Chain A
Amino acid sequence: MTTADFVVRAHLHSKVGENIADCEDALAVASQTPGRGLRAAVADGASSSAFSGYWAALLTQSFVTAPIRSQAELLARLPALTERWNAHVYGRNLPWHSLERATRGAFAALAGVEVDAGSPAAWRGLALGDSCVVHLRAGAVLRSEPIAASAAFTNDPVLISTDAERNAGIEAKLRLFGGVLMPGDTLLLATDALAQFVLAAAEAGAAGIGALLGALERGDGAIAAGRAVGSLRNDDVAAIVIRVS
């Protein structure tokens, strides 16, 4: 069987003016041996909730350790993760405001993919909230989940919470999808600000998105450049670029 080779580049940036330790986005890539598939996930902790960066990290690590392939698997996974979040948060002597905020729970968006090793490579994805998986081919967006247009991002998505009560009905918002990667294809996992920026670039034409993807694959110049001209919102960024070489 022919196997696919992947070029993978990960980006994690805090907002301009803040430290990386303050970043509430998270990412994880499962280390695979050459010629094997891979798993990757990004998550975006809601800044209006407590210890959301830690919650985002728990979600991404959990996904790449054991992918979630159904609504039932998502719901079954959360209690153990909440227990770990509770132990992390309540196991310390918190100041009053942190404790008060913690009682409202943490919230995060999650987007993850698992990519098989074959060529062409089958892939499956999951997304809940406003972190996105974008499948690109030859400068065009083949698919973007769960949000397909730059104008469709809002400030109040439904997110995954540490509070079971707040998760009532979230399984209905979970998007499960997949496809096949051909040589040269790119899968981009990105939290909301970058996902919106990339979709806007794609809507503007193939030349812009091609240059942007190249920059993202080479390094972080695209993030700084986008922020400098104001078209990329000043928000935390977690992104993973997976290109089939």
Chain B
Amino acid sequence: MPYRAEISRRHPGYFIFIIDRSASMNDQHGRTSDKSKAQSVADAINRIIQNIVIQCSKNEGVYDYFSVSVIGYGSEVGSAFCGPLAGRPFASTSELEANPARLEKRKQRVPDGAGGLVELEVKFPIWFEPVASGSTPMRRALGSAYGLADAWIRDNPDGYPPIVMNLTDGESSDGDPGEAARKLTSLKTSDGNVLLFNMHLSAESGAAVLYPSSEVVLNDPFARQLYSISSQLPEAMLQQALAMELPVRQGSRGFVFNGDVVSAIQFLEIGTKPANMALR
């Protein structure tokens, strides 16, 4: 059965994030938001990377269950890591943990075991700062992802297929991204084809759309284009998403419109997920 390969330190998985850093990302994200789309993307990618590292956290260390690449596309296309990892094509989860650009301090309330809560100071790592300049060369960015995925698959022919996640406001400036997306998702390991998920941030307000199975629910033409190049959720991911009570169904695609994509990285099975361990 595809998309069942073990993800472990011996057989790590691979995330490739491609993030839109074009000038249009300076626009407001939704009519009621005070954030720019660039800020929303930076927040999302920091939370995603944070959650990937937390998934790999074992007692006081971090296991290298994943490699991660982040490609920015705007005035230039290339590695978007900030801080000590700047310029690196990819990093392991332990390298990410050890090398955030900075740590913010935040307060969090946690259970005390007796039904009460205590307040703890937690550190929130920041790897990416908002950037917005230049055009939106999405095809080139997908081409870069192809190069990275192709090289990784040569080294890991039986691994869990790379997952590419594109965060954008959807307006490609270098032509239809469809062909580049099809080429990217034609790459495969023995466990399945490369998966391409898209998160579309729009200046339009309205309800978030999560993992639709039809483009009919999408009014925005760029959203429909991104939906068309998004991979269908494999059965194993679909079951995980259902267990997380997300609104998925047979045929759901890895596409989110103005919604939260952090949940998507939890679709991967790395050991047991207790049924009574709801996400917070």
Give residues in A with beta carbon < 8 Å to B. 15-18, 22, 44, 46-51, 53, 79, 82-83, 85-86, 90, 92, 94-105, 107, 130, 155-159, 161-168, 170, 192, 234-235
- Name 12 interchain pairs, CB-CB below 8 A, sorted by A: A46-B273, A46-B277, A48-B273, A50-B57, A53-B59, A95-B97, A97-B54, A98-B60, A156-B275, A158-B276, A166-B277, A170-B276
Is the beta-carbon distance between B113 and A79 smaller than 8 angstroms? yes
Residues of chain B with a CB closer than 8 A to A130's CB: 272
User: Which stretch, B3-11, B26-34, B78-86, touches the partner chain A?
Assistant: B3-11
Give residues in B with beta carbon < 8 Å to A. 6, 8-10, 50, 53-60, 62, 97, 103, 108, 110-115, 120, 122-125, 240, 243, 269-278, 280
User: Given A18-B9, A234-B8: A96 and B277 within 8 A (CB)?
Assistant: no
Distance between Cα atoms of A66 and B205 in the complex (Å): 59
Residues of chain B with a CB closer than 8 A to A234's CB: 6, 8
Q: How many A-B residue pairs have CB under 8 A?
A: 128
Residues of chain A with a CB closer than 8 A to B113's CB: 79, 82-83, 85-86, 162-164
Residue of A nearest to B110 (CB): A103
Residue of A nearest to B109 (CB): A103
Is the beta-carbon distance between A97 and B53 smaller than 8 angstroms? yes
Residues of chain A with a CB closer than 8 A to B275's CB: 156-159
Residue of A nearest to B123 (CB): A96
Residues of chain A with a CB closer than 8 A to B55's CB: 48
Picked from A17, A96, A103, A192, the residue with its CB within 8 Å of the CB of B103 is: A96
Distance between Cα atoms of A139 and B280 in the complex (Å): 46
User: Given A95-B60, A164-B114: A105 and B277 within 8 A (CB)?
Assistant: yes
Q: A31 to chain B: closest CB distance in Å? A: 28
Residues of chain A with a CB closer than 8 A to B110's CB: 102-103
